[in-house]
A and B are shown apart, each in its own frame.
Chain A
Amino acid sequence: MKILVGYKRVVDYNVRIQVRPDGTGVVTDGVKLSANPFDDIALEEALRMREKGLVNEVVVVGIGPADLTAHLRNGLAMGANRAIHVTTAETLQPLTAARVFQKLVEREQPDLVLLGKQAIDDDANQTGQMLAALWDRPQATFASKIEIADGKATVTREVDAGLETIEVELPAVITSDLRLNEPRFIKLPDIMKAKSKPIDVIEMTSLDVDTSDHLRTTLYAAPPKRNKGVMVKDAAELVAALKQKGLL
C-alpha cells in the first residue's frame, strides 16, 4: 500500500503574526516557518501504518518555491520514503492545491491520501474534501482514529456532537485531527539519512493544472482589539462588577 501525505510549510504556530500596515499581507520575512502541525500528525500516522506492515511506501508532497526542499527533508528525516516537490512561486488556493494533488494521484496511484484537516495559515479546511470530490473517492475528515483492513478504512471522526465512526473503501482521502497521534521528534542520524532520500522535483506548469481560482484577497487587516480590562481584588468585587454589567 502506498500513502501520499500533504506536507505544507506554514508560519510556526507559536509566532504572533503581524499584518503589514498597508494591508497587503502578513509579515513573513524572517519569521520562523514549520510544518503545518496537522500535517506532522498525518505523516506520523502514515509512518505508524508502515511500521505495522500495512504500508510499504510513504511519500510526502509539498507545493511551493525552490527553498521548500529543506522543509521536505524534514518529512524525510521523520521517516517518509521519498518526497515530491511541486515547484511554484504562487500561493495556491485550496481548489488549485486539490487539483495538483489530483494530478499526483493519477501518477502515483496511492491507496490513501492523508492530509491535515486544515493549514494554520489560511485556516481553510478544504483541500482534502476537494481532492476527494475531484477524485470521486470517499473522504473521512477530522480523523482521531484510523483502522485499515480488507481494503477499507474505519475512521473515528471528531464531530461537534461527539465521535462519529464511518467506514470508507480505499482508495480514500483522510484528514487528520489533533488527537490522532503525537508526532515523533526528528533525530540527528535521521537528518543525515534523509539527505540521501530522493526528492522528485516537478514544475507545476508541467502538470497542466487548471489554476483558475475565483477568489481574490483584497485586504488584510488586524482583528479589532479588545479594550484593556481591569483586575479585581477578590471574588466579591468580581461578582459585583458582573452584576453591574447585567451579566449575572
Chain B
Amino acid sequence: MYGNDFSPPEDGPGGGLLGEVEAAEAALREAAARARRGGPTPDEDLEAYFADVIDADQKIEPRDWMPEAYRKTLIRQIAQHAHSEIIGMQPEGNWISRAPSLKRKAILLAKVQDEAGHGLYLYAAAETLGVSRDELVELLLNGRQKYSSIFNYPTLTWADVGAIGWLVDGAAIVNQVPLCRCSYGPYARAMIRVCKEESFHQRQGYEILYTLSHGTPAQKAMAQDAIDRWWYPSLAMFGPPDAESPHSAQSMAWKIKRFSNDELRQRFVDMCVQQAEVLGLTLPDPDLRWNDERQSYDYTQPDYDELMQVIKGNGPCNRQRMEHRRRAHDEGAWVREAAAAYAAKRAEKKEKVAA
C-alpha cells in the first residue's frame, strides 16, 4: 500500500551508497569465511591478538577479549545511536495525524515504526557488550547519555518531513555506510540492515520534496523554507570539525570510524548539491561553489557554537523531547509492571502443573 511509485533521477539519493552497503555486506561474509586463527594461544598477549584481528580486517565478536576503552567507546556510540532512533520518532511522529494524504500517512507511519525497530536492534547490539537496555534507557532519561542533536529542531510544516528524509536521513546514511565495515561485528551487521531501510526512507523524503517543489507556489515555498531550516543542522550532524574531535583518532585506529567528520561532511555536501538542482530548490549557502582543484564543493561551515549549545541541552526542543520521553516512560510504568506480574503468575502456574 505504501510502495514507491516515483522514479528518482539516475543514481538518485542513496543510489551509490547502497552499493557500498552491499559491498560491505559481502566483505563481512568474506571475513567470516576466512579461517580465523581460532583464538589466542594460552600464553599469547591478548592485546596483541586483538590488534592482529583489527589489522586483518576481521571482526571482533562479543566473546572476544577487547580493551576496556574499546568496549566503552562502542557502548557510548551504539547507545547514542539507539537513543537517536527512539527520540527521532518524535519530530516525524508530530505529523502522522496531519499527513496530507492517506498514502503519505501510511508511508510516515511505516517509517516511524522502522525507527523504533532500528532502536531495538541497536540496543540489542549494545547489549552484546555487557550492558542492559534498561540501564541505557536510564542513562538517556537522566541526561547522562546523548542522542543526535538534529532531533532537537522542530518540525513546523509538512515539508519538514520531506527535509528530514532527504537531509537528515541522507546525512545519517553517509555517516553510517562506513560503519557497515566497523571492526565490531554486531554493530557492523546492525548498520547494514539499518542503512538499507534508511536509504529507502531518504528516497521517500526526497519524493515528498520533489512533489512539493513541482506543486503549487505555496507548496514550493514550503519545501524551500524547510530546506533553509534543516540544511545547517544536517551539516552539524557530522560532529565538530576534525581539529576539535577528541575521540576520532582512537576510533579510527580501532577501525570503528573509517573517515573523519570533515571528510564525511564534504561527501554529504557534494551529494546534496546535484540533488537540490533536480528538486529545483536551493541550498541556503551563498558561498557554495564547485572547486575544480579539490574536485569538491566549497561551502560555509555550520555554526559550531550553536551545535555545542544544542548538545548541552539548549536547542529549541531539547526539553520538550526529553519531557515527552520521560512522560511515556513514567505513564507506562504500571503497564510494564502488569506484564511482569502476569508473566510471573504464568510461570508459577506452569511450575505447579509440572510438579
Question: Does A associate with B in a complex?
Answer: no
Which residues of chain A have a CB within 8 Å of any CB of chain B?
none
